[in-house]
Every structure is written in C-alpha cells, then in structure tokens.
Structure 1
Amino acid sequence: MRIAFMGTPDFAVPTLDALAAAGHDVAAVYSQPPRPAGRGKALLASPVHKQAKRLGIEVRTPASLRDAETQAAFAALDLDVAVVAAYGLILPAPILEAPRHGCLNVHASILPRWRGAAPVQRAILAGDETTGVTIMEMERGLDTGSTYALRETAIDGKSAGELTEELAAIGAALMAQVLDALPGLTPTPQPDAGVTYAAKIEKSEARLDFTRSAVDVERRIRAFNPMPGAFFEYGGERIKILAASVLPGEGPGPAARGSGPRLSPGNVIDETLTIACGEGAIAPSLVQRAGRGVMTPSELLRGFAIPAGARLG
C-alpha cells in the first residue's frame, strides 16, 4: 500500500519500522519540526525523523497542517492510507479525507478508556490492571473514531517508560495486521459507556505528596518515570524517586511496621530512606539527584545525608 507515516517520539518508531519491513510504499514521513535541545540549544530532530532518514524516506516537518499549500502537498502523495502514531499535531479535515482509506491511529489504550494525550500515565495513576493498544480510524473528535483492532496487556507494576516501550511493539504488530487486511476490514464504533479522558501531564503533578497513601505515591513514581520524574525536595535539592516498593499498613510511618513513634507523612522513618505516607510507607529503590546518575538510596545517602526523622517536601 502507498502510505504516509506521521509520528514523532520513540513510541512511533517501531510502527514506522514495521511498515518498511512489510514492504509498503512509504511515500513520506511527517514529524514535528526539530526542537532546540541541550545546553547549546542545537536543533534536534525527532526519533521518527532520524529513523526515516536512516531508512531513506523523505521527511516533512511542517509546523502546522492547516495551510492550503501543506494540505495540497499531502493530497498530491496519492495515498491509500496514512498511519499516525503520537504525531502531536491536529489533523484537519482535508488531511483526514485525503487518503483513500483514511487515517489510522495507533493509540496506547483500550478505547474508549483514556482518550487523549497521556493514556499510559493516566492508566497507571488510576491503578488500572490492564491497558493496551487500539488501532482506530481517525475523525475530527478526540480519539472518537471507530476501531479496527485492539490488544490488551497487563500493567503489572511497570513504569510508564517500560509500558510505553511494550505498547509501541504491540502497536506496530497490530497496525501491520490491520494494513494486511485492508480494505476488507469493517471498523466498529466505540461504545458510549466507559469513556475517560487522559489529560496532559503537568510538571506540577510530579512533586510527591506524601499525605497520599503509599499505594498512590508508588503509582505516581511509576507513572512519571522517566518523564517528568516524581520528586521531593530536601536541603535545597530536588531528588527524584524512580522506583519504590510499598510497605502497607494503617496510618503513617512506623505504625506500618509495628514499632516506634508515629511520624507525620513525609518524615523519613529510618536510615534506608523509608518514607512515611498518609497510609503505609514507601521504600525507594532507585533515586537521582539533579545532574547526577541514577543510584540506590544507600549510594545517595553516602554523599547526601537525609537522617531518620527528616521531613521531605
């Protein structure tokens, strides 16, 4: 099939690779424009942009798809279908209507649950046991199109980074199957029941609130790993927690462990950086100081003292 691929981050790269491996005619790749990055603010091409170049495919990076010239250039590709995976730009009606079989999207949830920008993170935050990938027909609504295929997977304590990588591989394989079956497939309208929206993650959400339960805090740690990184502040420094386990129990602090005085949420319980929460406690296993590499709590504490009883904010 003659295809345009539209994607930007690492999540989209496996789908592009799958299209190329299947022998489809990828006429062009659309990706968001290179952005300033690093201390020197040099322009950095997206992961999809880089991979398309390696594959020898033309890359187009319009800042918008709303102008007539860009839309005419897209229509001139004479496409069977456009495949979209985390592109990041709104597709106006002339773009949606140009390919003969429309625009198909790789969406990282089981629709209609978690329509929107951050389905992986919101599924973890909500404590969902499963998530997955849906291949959907795009229309002007926010992830409201009819669905061609879906596949579930267990969340099972994974971080957002781990889960995104898994879903990217699932989505690539599922999209390849759908394209092999076109145009004989008939999409299924999404049900009206069960709709939820995955709002964009705000950086302010990453500051850990230890008045929440340990279960909730641990979910936030996983949901915000790797970005933006769940953190607390102590001694004028921001410390990220990248992984932690839950110590269950009633009430904050050592009450969860059956000994010692009750401490307030946010207090450090012991010399291993166990932290009291509104209910139970968390035991970090991977942490990171600003500008430093990932380390264990014991490695952190050797160079940055956080004594038992300290209050984290």
Structure 2
Amino acid sequence: MVIAFIAAITTCLGRVPAQAAVTEPPEVGAQIVGGQPADGAWTVSLQSQRPDGTYRHTCGGALIAPNWVVTVAACVSPETAANPPTLARAGSLEWQTGGSTAGLMEVIIHPAWEGLFTNAIALVRLDRYLTSPEILPVTVPLGPNGLALVAGFGTTCDSDPEDADCLESISDRLLQLEEKRLPDSECSLNIPPFGELFNPDDMMCMVSADGEAKQACFGDGSSAVVAKAHRGYRLVGLAIADGDEVDPFRPFACSTAPEGSPGELFVLDIFAHVPWIAETIRQRDPAAAERMVAIAAQAAG
C-alpha cells in the first residue's frame, strides 16, 4: 500500500526526490474530554480573528507540506463557517504561542463535497513556508481495529457548546487520546436512521481505545488522527464530528453514547483522497507535491 500511495502521487509528478525531512515524534502509549497532553504537535491550529483583533482557535488541520494544510471542508468553507480562519499556527503544543504562523493564501474545497461528511476535505495553501518539523506523511490506511491518536485543542467539558463556561474550557495545550477503529458494520452512522450519512469509502468510526468515556469534543473538528509509521507517525485521518452532531438522542455528551458506551468519533479517511490531494497540489505547487512524495517514501522506510 505504501507503494500504491507513492505511485499515486508520482503518476502526477514523474519522479521521487531522494531526500526529505520527516517528523519523528516520540513513542506514545494509551492516552479532548479525558485526553492527556500530546507528545507531538501533529495538529495545526487554524484560527479566526475576533472583532478585537485577537485570534482564537477555530478548528484543526495537518501539515502535509511546508506550505500546505489538509483540513475538513466545513472548517474553511464560507458557507458553513461563520468566521472562517485566516491564520495557521503549526509546530506548537499550544495554539496561542510557539511554532510558526502563516496566513491562509488559498482554500480549495473538494468539488464533490455537498455539505455533509462524504468528500468533506479541503486543502489550504499558506502564504509562506513553515519551519515546523511536524509534516505528516500519508503512507497506508488504518485497518479495522487499528489504533491511532487524535490530537486537538477543543473543549475539555462535555456540555452544551452554547454554554459560556464550556466554550471557555477550550484547551490551551494540545491534548491526545488513543482511539480504535471500529469495523464499518458497528458504526452508528451505518445504522438507520443515519445510514445515509456513512460512506465507508472515505470515512472511519472510532472509539476510545481503553473503552472508557473519553472522546474528541467541540473545537476538535479537523484534528489530526495519526498512527505509527515505519519512522515516526503518519496521517490517517481528520476528525469530522462526534455522535452528538448527528444523533438527537445524545445532545452535548461527546464522551458517551445513549446506552453509556463510549462515544464515537467520525473520521475522514485521508488515504481515500490521495489522488485528489496530489493532483490539486501538483497543479498549483509542483515543488510541494514532490516534497510530499519524498516525505512519504522516507517515512515508509
């Protein structure tokens, strides 16, 4: 599958550069309601400007080239985001400081996205190269029962997102949680009345790996989902939503399902969109596309 990924991009590029840097975060174990401090700055903080001129974390993304971020379409679309982000901070465990920042120069939303979960992917071209070492390769997909880490800056409460105290509980520091991929047949989105929302071709369902009531929550949208690669970690997905956003019987309880079982996280499968990512970046920025190939090749060993 690694070869398939590299072939998908090199079909567009024609060659693979010999050298490239690759992120190598430290080893992590089971670890943002119920999350633990993250060990790697895998998630880019996309931030919107407030009326007073300050910036606030809006949603996440992942750096896949020095000047390209992949994110969820609803995060950056003017049709769904009341105040779309204009600033990206990468390479920091805190969304307010550290790492490096850049403005958003161009936003490209998948042409087949229709406002729901399928094809809910977008690319953001930054206005300068970032020096962050946390450039994540995409090498192989995550299989059923596979383990991954979701890392986000979202709320640490499990309450009404309109509640001021809940909104102010947004984490200053990146938190992580180990998740396990469910078989598609066990995903609640694959069960009526929500079956039409689930597309197994580009979505995954995940629950906390230890079976406890922990889960990504409000503000964790587009957070990076990473798994171990041959070297360091690889990007396998982006958080789209948790069960509260589609199930009216479990409002504002990110960490649990109605029957008390762990809440589900719905994840965009990045690997499914490699051809679109590669071609879109190649058309606009061939050097960045080549960089992606080199990073993937080195991560794969």
Asked whether the two chains share a fold, i.e. TM above 0.5, the reply is: no
- Whose relative contact order is higher, 1 or 2, with alpha carbons under 8 Å and at least 6 apart? 2
Tell which structure's C-alpha radius of gyration is larger. Answer: 1
TM-score range, shorter chain: under 0.3
Normalised TM-score (structure 1): 0.26
Q: Which has the higher helix share?
A: 1
* TM-score for both structures, normalised by structure 2: 0.27
